[in-house]
Structure 1
Amino acid sequence: MRIAVIGAGGVGGYFGARLAAAGHDVTFVARGRHLEAIRRSGLLVRSPLGDVRTPPSSAVADIGELGPTDLVIVAVKLWDTEDIALRLSSADLGDPHVLSLQNGVHKDLILRRHLGEERVLGGTCFISAFIEEPGVVVHNNTLQKIIVGPYLAAQTTMSEAVHTAFRDAAIDTEPSTDIEKVIWEKFVFLVGLSATTAAVRRPIGVVRSNDRTRVLLSEVMQEATEVARASGVKLDETFVQTQMDFCDTLPATMTSSMHNDLEKGNRLELPWLSGGVVDLAEQLGIAVPRNRTVADILAPYIEGDSSPSM
């Protein structure tokens, strides 16, 4: 399969390299020093499951440099989704299907708006990986899971082919017949984790052990769950409690990428997490005061700030 991976960071770099090692024709779209390093020595992925390295020819600087493609994997930050969708819509790639491994529930809405519903598959991933230095991606543990599924019946054959490609690359892969529900389930959890750890500026262990911030965590997820149900997604009545129980099993030091970005002064994905819950709730006529408060508290840091604690 001819595969283009847009974004060669932790997610795109890891899964793209695994697919390349399994024999697929994989090309990364990267930039900056990361791109330069890949062009010199290939992309190196260090993992407890075994290291892999792609050839130096595996990266380009722009979507326009890609040739005919069967599958496009989108793995960029959420704020780049609109631009990527526009560039894909005008690129001469044939008629590839597109699979986003980004977080959130807005990603596929944006891609489908620009590329058409029939081209966008549903998917989500579970992994901890990051760029250690230009040209090097580190996989933190053995978790590397992808869930993929069709939005439309006509996408079933391609969705099955993508599932097979990931599975044959020794990636833990699961097909889904209700991918929208799977994406929303992950979204609700991420909204709770990111909202509370960023607002409190402490890891999940602190959040869950304090009575008031534990309630905050539960209510943030409850609001997101209510938005999901109002959007037609059938989440179980016990879903929030199940997520709270899951949070109790997490390492006390675990935190969210948004908390890390806040502490580092990086740009935040807030508009697509708690801010995204607020936007969707407004469209549906639902009150989400907890998520709105979090979005308001963190609003000054959306574009990045070198001293968020001041």
Structure 2
Amino acid sequence: MNILLQGAGALGAYFGGRMLEAGLNVSFFVREKRAAQLAGEGLEINSPEGDFATKDFKVYTSPEEVSDIDLLILAVKGYHLQQAIPQVEMIVKRTNCFVLPLLNGMEHIDILQRVIGKEKVLGGFAAIIATLNEHGHVVHTSGRSMIKFGALHNSQLDTCDKLDAIHTQVKTNILREDDILKHMWKKYIFITAFSGITSATQLPAGYISSHEAVFSVARNMVYEMSMLAEKEGIVLSEQEVETMAMRIKNHHKDATSSMHQDMRKGLPIEVEHLQGGALRLAAKHGVKVPAIETIYGILKPYEFGKPE
């Protein structure tokens, strides 16, 4: 299977690098600035799961260059989605490939399905805490990493079989789930609360767990998100919801979210894609989500980086 990673930030470079390490046929589609950095510095991973470095990979900067691709893994931030869509559309038309988006949230699934067709968009997400250093190399700081994926249309089953088969070859977890929408919602619920509370307080998990008033806000966000999931047809048990809330409380004290890491660097953040998406769902169903609304209001000024 020929795999194209669209995006080579920390997420795309990490998982693409792990696939390259396993000898799989992987290439990257990136902007010219990132292409130049990869050409000069190479792709390098520093990780508890094992270090890896290579300069032996193909990089594309124009959709017209791409051919013979079976699967496009879309690994861009939510705020780059609109910019990426015309490129995805052209690559799919040229190659007839399937698309596995690893974005946070849920809105992007409908958006992509409207553009390239329901049969072309797989469900999935990634779980990793990583960033890029000044050389553009991946610094993986959590103890593990994971992609979960699954079919949203019967035409995707063969591609899912092929992707499932590479799990044992790579130094990461690439896991197939039959009920992928439920797993995507559980990720969306958790990351909306965890990214929101760490970014709003600008503090890692240890401070969240040690102050009950702060943890209460995070827990309220988890329960508000689970209500939205139910409105969208995804029913979670009380135990599942409480487990997600307690994950925030039991996180390693120094752990934090990618959104908080981006804030500390003065970079754009996914507040509109995560908390903003939740508010649009709440409006759609005519319900209130006061904790999410408050966190959204606090973070909105940082959407495009540090306010000047």
TM-score tier, shorter chain, comes to over 0.9
Q: Using the alignment, how far apart are the partners of 2:215 and 2:303 within structure 1?
A: 24
The residue type equivalent to 1:235 in the other structure is: L
Q: Which residue does the alignment assign to 2:80?
A: 80
Alpha-carbon offset, residue 306 of structure 1: 5.0
Deviations along 1:44-74, one digit per CA (max 9) or x if unpaired, are 2233333333434521223332122101011
Q: Using the alignment, how far apart are the partners of 1:141 and 1:257 within structure 2?
A: 11
The residue type equivalent to 1:10 in the other structure is: A
Alpha-carbon offset, residue 87 of structure 1: 1.7
Alpha-carbon offset, residue 245 of structure 1: 2.1
Q: Using the alignment, how far apart are the partners of 2:231 and 2:307 within structure 1?
A: 38
Report the 3-state secondary structure (helix = DSSP H, G, I; strand = E; otherwise coil) of the residue aligned with 1:233: coil
Q: Which residue does the alignment assign to 1:38?
A: 38
- Using a 3 Å threshold, how does the CA distance of structure 1 residues 272 and 37 change in structure 2: closer, same or farther? closer
The residue type equivalent to 2:2 in the other structure is: R
Counting only pairs closer than 5 Å after superposition, residues 47-58 of structure 1 correspond to structure 2 as: 47-58=47-58
- Using a 3 Å threshold, how does the CA distance of structure 1 residues 173 and 25 change in structure 2: closer, same or farther? closer
Counting only pairs closer than 5 Å after superposition, residues 288-307 of structure 1 correspond to structure 2 as: 288-306=289-307
Counting only pairs closer than 5 Å after superposition, residues 14-25 of structure 1 correspond to structure 2 as: 14-25=14-25
Report the 3-state secondary structure (helix = DSSP H, G, I; strand = E; otherwise coil) of the residue aligned with 2:128: strand
Alpha-carbon offset, residue 156 of structure 1: 1.8
Q: Using the alignment, how far apart are the partners of 1:251 and 1:293 within structure 2?
A: 25
Deviations along 1:76-105, one digit per CA (max 9) or x if unpaired, are 111111221222212353110111122222
**Which 10-residue stretch deviates more, 207-216 or 227-236?**
207-216
**Which 10-residue stretch deviates more, 143-152 or 21-30?**
21-30
1:41·1:56 contact (CA, 8 Å) conserved in 2?
A: no
**Which 10-residue stretch deviates more, 226-235 or 293-302?**
293-302
1:7 counterpart = 2:7: yes
Q: Using the alignment, how far apart are the partners of 1:130 and 1:83 within structure 2?
A: 22
- Using a 3 Å threshold, how does the CA distance of structure 1 residues 260 and 169 change in structure 2: closer, same or farther? closer
Q: Which residue does the alignment assign to 1:265?
A: 266
1:89 counterpart = 2:89: yes
Q: Using the alignment, how far apart are the partners of 2:131 and 2:215 within structure 1?
A: 29
The residue type equivalent to 1:214 in the other structure is: F
Alpha-carbon offset, residue 248 of structure 1: 2.7
Q: Which residue does the alignment assign to 1:102?
A: 103
**Which 10-residue stretch deviates more, 238-247 or 226-235?**
238-247
Q: Which residue does the alignment assign to 1:121?
A: 122
Q: Which residue does the alignment assign to 1:151?
A: 152
- Using a 3 Å threshold, how does the CA distance of structure 1 residues 138 and 210 change in structure 2: closer, same or farther? closer
Q: Using the alignment, how far apart are the partners of 1:44 and 1:285 within structure 2?
A: 47
Give the TM-score normalised by the residue count of structure 1. 0.92
**Which 10-residue stretch deviates more, 285-294 or 182-191?**
285-294
Matched residue count: 307
1:46·1:138 contact (CA, 8 Å) conserved in 2?
A: yes
Q: Using the alignment, how far apart are the partners of 1:138 and 1:260 within structure 2?
A: 12
Report the 3-state secondary structure (helix = DSSP H, G, I; strand = E; otherwise coil) of the residue aligned with 1:252: coil
**Which 10-residue stretch deviates more, 279-288 or 232-241?**
232-241
Alpha-carbon offset, residue 141 of structure 1: 4.3
Structure 1 unmatched runs, 5+: none
The residue type equivalent to 2:179 in the other structure is: D
Alpha-carbon offset, residue 108 of structure 1: 1.9
Counting only pairs closer than 5 Å after superposition, residues 115-194 of structure 1 correspond to structure 2 as: 115-194=116-195
Report the 3-state secondary structure (helix = DSSP H, G, I; strand = E; otherwise coil) of the residue aligned with 1:286: coil
Deviations along 1:144-168, one digit per CA (max 9) or x if unpaired, are 2221111123322211211212432
The residue type equivalent to 1:87 in the other structure is: Q
1:39·1:57 contact (CA, 8 Å) conserved in 2?
A: no
The residue type equivalent to 1:150 in the other structure is: A
1:47·1:138 contact (CA, 8 Å) conserved in 2?
A: yes
Report the 3-state secondary structure (helix = DSSP H, G, I; strand = E; otherwise coil) of the residue aligned with 2:95: coil
- Using a 3 Å threshold, how does the CA distance of structure 1 residues 18 and 220 change in structure 2: closer, same or farther? same
**Which 10-residue stretch deviates more, 191-200 or 136-145?**
136-145
Alpha-carbon offset, residue 256 of structure 1: 1.6
Q: What value does the CA root-mean-square deviation take over the aligned residues?
A: 1.9
Report the 3-state secondary structure (helix = DSSP H, G, I; strand = E; otherwise coil) of the residue aligned with 1:250: coil
1:64 counterpart = 2:100: no
Alpha-carbon offset, residue 137 of structure 1: 1.8
Give the TM-score normalised by the residue count of structure 2. 0.92
Q: Percent identity?
A: 31
1:218·1:240 contact (CA, 8 Å) conserved in 2?
A: no
